[in-house]
Structure 1
Amino acid sequence: MGGSYLYMINSTIQFYIDVVTSPVVAFLLLSIFFLGVVYQLFSDRINIVGVLAVLSIFIFYSGHLLTGSSNLLALILILISGILLLVEFFVIGMILGAIGLMLFAASILVVSGNALLYSVFLAVILVMVIIEWVIFVKHKKRKIPFLNRLILSDATDKESGYTSFDDRSHLVGEVAVTHTVLRPSGTIRLGDERIDAVAEGSYIPSDVKVKIIFVEGTRVVVRPTED
């Protein structure tokens, strides 16, 4: 009973290894991973494609590592490449990411046991990834949300002198005309520009000359001119 149970387990594992390490299945798994990662990069949140990408690369590596060939070297390469790619997300510069990708590709070649065939696989997948990238960037006008948030947070901090509103302080002292009635808010006209404004008092009729006396953020306060 025990012997037949172990035999069934071993047979199942061997079947799993044979299926996963077959060239066709391995190519499909790698394609799903790389294409899925690119798709996920251009998505606002984790989706089923990203989950399938992670699952496919796990199946690929598990099936090949179970063969027992080049396990240690492959694991080292996977670990180092993973660390470098993770660091690249926080230290934008591309160098660490490029090294991480090369080590990741090397781990695939090592774990596969057939560097020549899998080099061809990776070359074909690279072409598909480039095509997918061009479709997202050129045709769909998509951007990578994660990178956009990093760039935006870096470019809009106070240390960089950024303010989240239009600086209209230069308008103080300018004379405009009320475009609408101000009760107390409304619109004034300064040249060809229409500006939302607030009356110093409670009411200013339309077509009245007003002077901009105070600006705070987008709040523009006006009072009628003396003349």
Structure 2
Amino acid sequence: MTVINGIHTFFLLNFSSDVSWIFDVAQILTHPLMTLILTVAIFLGFLYQLYSPKINLIGVVAALCLLLLFLGFLINGDVNLISVILFGIGVIFVIIELFIVGAVIGFFGIVLISLSLIMLGDNLFIMLFNVIIAVILSIVEWVILVKLLNRKIPFFEKVVLKDSTNAEAGYRSHDDRSHLVGKIARTSTDLRPAGIILINDERIDAVSDGSFILRNKDVKILEVEGTRVVVREID
């Protein structure tokens, strides 16, 4: 609390009545209606920024609203140390979430940031109401961005493996042998009914379609299911 009280004292000692407007501005910033507007702008702005490929004006405005909200309460001496600590930890958790995709820690980060905003000022109920309204509107915005506009988080798009590695994009896993169906191979061992066949100098585990097949016999690949290759002897 010493640092926060020191900042508040700094404003009191260094701003005379000639510039008392700064305290008037602080009163405006901490008015219940203004705190609601700022809180909503913070939530909506940062959520929109999260789904944007680069920093934009809306993200900058959200950051300025956050600064004004904290600054207003700070000038009035209504910021407590716990609120600052919760906000700092929350931001760290959210940053960690960006690098560890799917971690629950990001959710806790958002909760901590919300709690830090609720604890601003001397009226918890007003700030709690503000955060609840902001969360509800953020959910509406998320539905619009994701469900209607099909927006995705650019950062996650770069980190998470994309669908370009699926079969339609030309990617084949090491054990995908579906392209061998219909090909002719030769048995390297007896198939009783399992054994090994040879195709293009590659040894592949295979099973016969039910009959016993001797070594050095030509077989046709009938079916491939994952790593299971089914063959039939060519008469």
**TM-score, normalisation: structure 2:** 0.62
Residue of structure 2 equivalent to 1:79: 88
Supply the distance in 2 between the matched residues of 1:147 and 1:25 (Cα, whole angstroms): 34
Q: Deviations over 1:86-142 (max 9, x none)?
A: 111111234211211111111111113211122111111111111110011111111
Kindly indicate whether residue 21 of structure 2 is the aligned counterpart of residue 12 of structure 1: yes
Aligned pairs (5 A) from 1:190-205? none
Cα distance change, pair 109–166 in 1 and its aligned pair in 2 (3 A): closer
Kindly indicate whether residue 90 of structure 2 is the aligned counterpart of residue 92 of structure 1: no
Report the alpha carbon displacement of residue 71 of structure 1 after superposing the two structures with TM.
2.6
Residue of structure 2 equivalent to 1:47: 56
Cα distance change, pair 74–152 in 1 and its aligned pair in 2 (3 A): same
Residues 64 and 112, structure 1, Cα contact 8 Å, conserved in 2:
yes
Residue of structure 2 equivalent to 1:143: 152
Aligned pairs (5 A) from 1:167-182? none
Residues 71 and 111, structure 1, Cα contact 8 Å, conserved in 2:
yes
Runs of at least 4 residues of structure 1 off by over 3 A?
164-171
Supply the distance in 1 between the matched residues of 2:91 and 2:110 (Cα, whole angstroms): 9
Residue of structure 1 equivalent to 2:231: none
* Unaligned runs of at least 5 residues, structure 1: 175-227
> 3-state SS of the aligned residue for 2:76?
coil
> 3-state SS of the aligned residue for 1:111?
coil
Percent identity between matched residues is 31
Residue of structure 2 equivalent to 1:57: 66
What amino acid sits opposite 1:68 in the alignment?
A: G
Aligned pairs (5 A) from 1:92-131? 92-131=101-140
Supply the distance in 2 between the matched residues of 1:132 and 1:150 (Cα, whole angstroms): 24
**TM-score, normalisation: structure 1:** 0.64
Supply the distance in 2 between the matched residues of 1:166 and 1:103 (Cα, whole angstroms): 42
Report the alpha carbon displacement of residue 152 of structure 1 after superposing the two structures with TM.
2.8
Residues 78 and 103, structure 1, Cα contact 8 Å, conserved in 2:
yes
How many residues are paired up? Answer: 166
Residues 65 and 111, structure 1, Cα contact 8 Å, conserved in 2:
no
Cα distance change, pair 152–37 in 1 and its aligned pair in 2 (3 A): same
Cα distance change, pair 138–156 in 1 and its aligned pair in 2 (3 A): closer
